[in-house]
Structure 1
Amino acid sequence: MDSAPTSAFAAVIVAAGAGLRAGQSLPKQFARWRGKPVIRHSAEAFARAGATPIVVAIPAGADETATAALGGIPGVRLVAGGATRQASVRAALEALAADGPRAVLIHDAARPLVPPGVIARLVDALAVHPAAIPVLPVADSLAAADGDVMGAPASREALRRVQTPQAFDFAAILAAHRGWRGAADAGDDAQVARAAGMDVVMVEGDEALHKLTYAADFAAAGPLPLRVGTGYDVHRLAAGEDLWLGGVRIDHSHGLAGHSDADVAIHALVDALLGALGAGDIGTHFPPSDPQWRGAASDRFLAHAVSLAAEAGYAIGNVDLTIICEAPKIGPHRAAMRTRLAQLLGCAEDRVSIKATTTEKLGFTGRSEGIAAQAVATLVLD
């Protein structure tokens, strides 16, 4: 297993581009991806690995947006980028000159995931080399293009996919940028290093360093189109209690005992919905220790779970509920339960399934000491 890097190093994150191809409402480095701005992912990764300082090259006038995206991450500094990637890196390196770090890792903000193992391999390589880059082999067959016509084949064995972050002796890469001649249009800093005569060693990269480029890259990390949750609940039967099941009051010699109305069917269904959302369980939202829920109608709990789903952008796909008891018989009440639950869920009745079974006189349900229910719920992106 890769160990965390032990040498102190600085980091540069290049985030000064327009990011227009990603189809977002703002430059892609500031767009949200997996719950936070793209740029924040890599900045946090470098901070965890011990990089200090972390200089981020941003578009002119984007200070407020960048500050909001990076707030709370230690050691972050902002610098205005240039007209090209190379110019932005040069500006960031110059901003680090007074710090004089031994090493620097230079990274593209559009690669949000930075595995600690890659950082460790790069920093370790700098112990014996002035520059190191992460690479991956090429899996596909390659050919030169002659317009729209296939040209000569190329040898994939001699080629590598180059990623970032790229690691350098700080003084050497700063001198290489300062000594660059011609247009500042190098594709990456390894090219600048090679032009200055530096040997660039290759270390193992990682597929996680995928670069976000197009709108589809963001769509792939969006909300799940389908979420599934399960729920299970039990309540004991007691004399003198009303029996509520599936939102319907049923005449019976015993009712279910609990802090609320103890509708075991709805409770299982609420837990299934909360589970699909990753939002805890019914006790988290309605603790039994809270007196306001004593005797409360369970349909309030279900309405809460449905509203949480709607706020997250989901609608009810379907629910499947199984009630486990010896008595009362569920069949005569199934249609009423189905209608009531569909109303509470805000969905068509054909999306609600209610089944009943016994345990053949075995266990607490078989002895008519209580009723159990289990539920499965699916949520679909609305």
Structure 2
Amino acid sequence: MGVSQHDGPRVAAVICAGGSGSRAGAGAPKQYRLLDGRPILAASLELFLNHPSVSQVVTVIGADHADLYESAAAPFAGSDRLKAPVAGGDSRQASVRAGLEALAADAVDIVLVHDAARPFATPALVDRAIASAFANGGAVPGVAVVDTICEVDRGGGRGGTLDRARCRALQTPQGFDYARLRAAHGQALAAGREDFTDDGALYGWAGERVVVFEGEIENVKLTTPEQFEVFARREAVEALLTLGDVRVGTGFDVHAFGPGDHVVIGGVAVPHGFGLSGHSDADVVLHALTDAVLGALGDGDIGAHFPPSDPAWKGADSARFMADAVARVRARGGVIAHLDVTVIGEAPKVGPHREAMRARIAEICGVAVGRVGVKATTTEKLGFAGRREGLAAMASATIRLPLTEELA
């Protein structure tokens, strides 16, 4: 049973997402890697922003992660519970302290501190964290240890065996009295202690009471490349088993050249002696891909959802159309399996910008870059494209939807 924010403590959450994720191997920081088609951080944002007892959420991010954060948090941009992100410090302790300070002007009784790399935490776990912190002042989730645990000396030699019945593997979210945790962080800073990797330990060091409540076995922290590989394989198998309705749609778009010094293709501004005229920013690639996705859904076309006669779309970023089509797929429980587009025209050359286009399309759609193909061809100087009067694009989209009874 959750604690209502109206008759219980005022609760805020601090999500720690400032790490580089170097142990996870090459690639983006782990909190921004895709899991189930969206950045890992998005799972934690959704958990706390949708929880009825949490009134404020602040995310602590790396100093150079602003763009990654904005993309991950885009689905929640309209929430009045989501505070602006704050830059973290050189340690987890410093980052949590920054998150606590960001809440200083708010009325907060209980604060929950959570690692963004734990995307499987549940609302029930949040309920227990709030209730235990309210009752005890400090509370951390823990799960029983099933393996034999021993100490190891500096040379790698086996030491004594610990009593596993008295051991717990600690997790997050950890809950605390906000004012006391903030004061404890201040004490640690004044004492020159920056070595705490766990807020429960810091809180206890400051003389406060900390209890351990029941955690969740599934609430694992994604850290190593092997973990990401395991979950990627699991997602692939689950998609094959549950998303068996495979659909393919096609799209085609044309825009004439007009005045300008660049064209927008695949969400990327490409220098050119002309611009493209037409609907919104006249991005033939995103328009064709949007129609391909809508076609696979059997849900009309771009003109039906965003009429060119509506002045609201004059000069609009076509990424909005693409994102809307992808959202329609997800609203029906589906995923984007692959996107492929061919640009048709003599100029500008697509090759130098191909990877930037793939990356931008992947970012808009929340898919891996490997699921996006961008190609280009000419018409051997035939037709309007051959006469350099404009550009065209043809696209295909493969999506997976859940099997429905109508297919039986």
TM-score of the pair, normalised by structure 1: 0.60
1 CA distance for matches of 2:239 and 2:65?
37
2 CA distance for matches of 1:210 and 1:116?
15
1:164 paired with 2:175, answer no
Alignment-derived partner of residue 33 in structure 1 = 35
Alignment-derived partner of residue 55 in structure 1 = 58
Amino acid paired to 2:35: W
Amino acid paired to 2:119: P
Asked if the contact 2:134/2:177 (under 8 Å) is kept, the reply is no
1 CA distance for matches of 2:135 and 2:40?
33
Displacement, 1:309? Answer: 6.7
Q: Which of 93, 96, 109 is the equivalent residue of 1:89? A: 96
Q: Which of 210, 221, 224 is the equivalent residue of 2:236? A: 224
Please say which structure displays the higher CA radius of gyration: 1
Amino acid paired to 1:276: G
1 CA distance for matches of 2:164 and 2:74?
43
Q: Which of 127, 132, 140 is the equivalent residue of 1:125? A: 132
Displacement, 1:164? Answer: 0.5
Of the structure 1 ranges 48-57 and 192-201, higher mean CA displacement relative to structure 2 is found in 48-57
Distance 1:178 1:153, change over 3 A: same
Distance 1:228 1:119, change over 3 A: closer
* Identity rate, percent: 35
Amino acid paired to 1:145: V
1 CA distance for matches of 2:206 and 2:100?
16
1:207 paired with 2:217, answer yes
Report the secondary structure of 1:101's partner residue. coil
Report the secondary structure of 1:127's partner residue. helix
1 CA distance for matches of 2:143 and 2:236?
29
1 CA distance for matches of 2:164 and 2:157?
19
Displacement, 1:117? Answer: 0.9
Instruction: Supply the RMSD in Å over aligned alpha carbons.
Output: 2.9
Asked if the contact 2:185/2:202 (under 8 Å) is kept, the reply is yes
Displacement, 1:64? Answer: 1.8
Q: Which runs of 4+ in 1 moved over 3 A?
A: 225-229, 277-280, 284-287, 308-314
Distance 1:170 1:278, change over 3 A: farther
Displacement, 1:89? Answer: 0.4
2 CA distance for matches of 1:157 and 1:286?
53
Alignment-derived partner of residue 80 in structure 1 = 87
Displacement, 1:4? Answer: 2.6
Amino acid paired to 1:164: T
Q: Which of 244, 249, 255 is the equivalent residue of 1:276? A: 244
Gaps spanning 5+ residues in structure 1: where? 230-273, 288-307, 315-373, 376-382
Report the secondary structure of 1:179's partner residue. helix
2 CA distance for matches of 1:68 and 1:103?
28
Report the secondary structure of 1:104's partner residue. strand
Gaps spanning 5+ residues in structure 2: where? 249-294, 299-335, 340-366, 372-406
